Amino acid sequence: MLSDLDYVIVGIYVVALISLGLFISKMSTPHQSKTVGYFLADKGLPWWAVGASLIASNISAEQIIGMSGSGYAIGLAIASYEWMAALTLIIVAKFMLPIFIKHNILTMPQYLENRFDIRVRNVMAIFWLAVYLFVNLTSILWLGGLAIATITGIDALYGMIFLALFSTAYSLYGGLKAVAYTDIIQVVLLVLGGLALSYVALNSLSNGSGAINGFILLTEQAPSHFDLILDKNNPHYNSLPGISVLIGGLWIMNLSYWGFNQYIIQRALAAKSIAEAQKGITFAAFLKLLMPIIVVLPGIVAFVKFPNLKGPDQAYPSMLALMPDGIKGIIFAALIAAIVSSLSSMTNSISTIFTMDLYKHYKTDKSEAHYLLVGKTVVFLSLIIGIVLAKPLLGKFDQAFQYIQEFTGFFTPGVVVIFLLGMFWRKASATGALAAAVGSAIFSVVLKAFWPELPFMDRVGFVFILCLITCVLFSLLDVQAKASDKVSDITEVNFKTAPSFNISAFIICLILIQLYYVWW
């Protein structure tokens, strides 16, 4: 499918990115000898690096391939994950981030230990490691390998190995700083390549009369794919149950992902200051508004042009085949950019949690160099495990993105309850937090078994309420519990934000209102 010109373009991109990553790593060598330098970029990232890294970490094969597949099968409604995330980011920047930065948090489990106790820290650290390794990392590798196989004809296994080696080549030595700064190039390539793909796809739909005419034709030929809020008669209602995307379980999932997820929040924690972090998050929020044009629209076009694809996740690679030589190489490089960026970010977060929250806690007498060696070893091991388990875990699913959301939905209600009550209710106890964590899994399994027709997003909302009640009851019954005043008292936390942040938040809200008004 790719021409010699396309392969040259991809080769230039690979060499350039590895060279830049190694250059940044070499320039940062004095700081990389310390864990805070390796895992948090010495807390010196500017806002544009924070914002770019947030998006590059988030947008990967599971979004580009997975959401395009869901766009093919469901339509524009899947864009709610992106658009509602923009508003979630503003809330996280305003209310959650100041608390984390105030208490100089390195990892999410560290906050839980400071707020509750070591039991909560260990349970949640193990939980995040399991999810990152067996769900997120495997999905990035599998969908990335699938895309490479579809586009180039190379076996998916070799595609996964290439992605793993590429990501470690430029990020292993330099840590988060190398990842964050190279993410700037990744995001530029991702946005430009994605917009080029959408433009050419729409233009081809209109037989060369322009992307706008192509979009008009698309809405006429696939009107059912332009409903943002699905009704109960829609065959995909269980995946996106109507109004729940605005006021239900999607909020819980977004808060868990964007607010309490080491993989994401680590970028904001590495900012120069809270103001820089908030500007970076706002930048990322605006980019999230743009993402459906890049990751969903091609899937809808594929639904019209290729209605008989083998599976929905073939939509994006099939659209890539329409691109002219050269442009195809740029877009393929953009896809690889998104994948390797997420791989590097994910393995860095796995390494951070394992090293700083588990290993270092029990091996307290080792040197900084030893901890860094452990962290880098974990990166290699996690990639090997991910490659081995990717196909067995995800090979049987038509819409990998929906699988990821439903699986994580078993646990996210408890995560959100633990953090929200830990931050804003001083009586929340460690026993209550553990009860919410365990209850989240139990309630989810019971509801899925005895109420299987309940949409998983609604199930997330119900389980959140049950976990909230459980945490409150166990906390009130835990008369011996005493919250740490240092962490539970938020009276000294400054939640005031700059005028530019407030204006940006207002603009984002207006855009969202307009989008849902038009495509309701």
For 281-312, write each residue's pLDDT tens digit.
999 999 999 999 988 999 999 999 888 888 78
CB proximity list for 410: less than 8 A, separation 6 or greater: 440, 441, 444, 445
Higher per-residue confidence, 80 vs 189: 80
Q: If you average pLDDT over every residue of the chain, what do you get?
A: 85
Range 504-519 average pLDDT: 93
Q: How far apart are CA 252 and CA 80, in angstroms?
A: 13
> By percentage, how much of the chain surpasses pLDDT 90?
29
Range 184-204 average pLDDT: 86
Higher per-residue confidence, 172 vs 83: 83
Give φ, ψ of 22 to 5 degrees.
-70, -35
Q: Tens of pLDDT along 253-289?
A: 999 989 998 878 888 888 888 999 999 999 999 999 9
Nearest CA to 410 out of 249, 245, 260 is that of 249
Give φ, ψ of 45 to 5 degrees.
-75, 135
Per-residue model confidence (pLDDT) at position 61:
67
Tokens standing for 372?
Answer: 């860094």
In order of their start, the domains of the chain are 4-402 (1.20.1730.10)
Alpha helices in 306-353 (DSSP H): 315-320, 327-352
> By percentage, how much of the chain surpasses pLDDT 70?
90
pLDDT interval class at 468 (50, 70, 90):
very high
Higher per-residue confidence, 220 vs 321: 220
The backbone region for 67, taken as left when phi is positive above 0, alpha when psi lies in -120 to 50, beta otherwise, is alpha
156-165, 381-390, 410-419, 473-482: segment of lowest average pLDDT: 473-482
Per-residue model confidence (pLDDT) at position 444:
93
83-92, 127-136, 494-503: segment of lowest average pLDDT: 127-136
Q: Tens of pLDDT along 117-130?
A: 889 999 889 988 98
Q: How far apart are CA 228 and CA 245, in angstroms?
A: 9
377-386, 484-493, 498-507: segment of lowest average pLDDT: 484-493
Highest mean pLDDT, choosing among 22-26, 358-362, 375-379:
375-379
Please give the span between the terminal C-alpha atoms of the chain, in angstroms, as a whole number: 38
- Calculate the CA 111 to chain-centre distance: 21
Range 486-497 average pLDDT: 75
The string of DSSP letters for 452-479 reads TTS-HHHHHHHHHHHHHHHHHHHHHH-T
Q: How far apart are CA 347 and CA 339, in angstroms?
A: 12
3-state SS assignment for residue 82: helix
Per-residue model confidence (pLDDT) at position 171:
65
DSSP for residue 334: H
Number of residues written out for the chain: 520
Per-residue model confidence (pLDDT) at position 148:
85
Higher per-residue confidence, 381 vs 236: 381
Nearest CA to 417 out of 62, 1, 112, 38 is that of 112
Could you tell me where the beta strands, DSSP code E, fall in 309-443?
Answer: none
CB proximity list for 215: less than 8 A, separation 6 or greater: 202
pLDDT interval class at 31 (50, 70, 90):
very low
3-state SS assignment for residue 217: helix
Could you tell me where the beta strands, DSSP code E, fall in 58-197?
Answer: none
Per-residue model confidence (pLDDT) at position 94:
94
Residue 30 has pLDDT above 60, yes or no: no
57-66, 79-88, 310-319, 424-433: segment of lowest average pLDDT: 57-66
Q: How far apart are CA 304 and CA 313, in angstroms?
A: 15
CB proximity list for 27: less than 8 A, separation 6 or greater: none
Per-residue model confidence (pLDDT) at position 258:
92
18-22, 164-168, 420-424: segment of lowest average pLDDT: 18-22
Range 94-104 average pLDDT: 89
Higher per-residue confidence, 39 vs 21: 21
Q: How far apart are CA 214 and CA 284, in angstroms?
A: 28
Higher per-residue confidence, 363 vs 88: 88
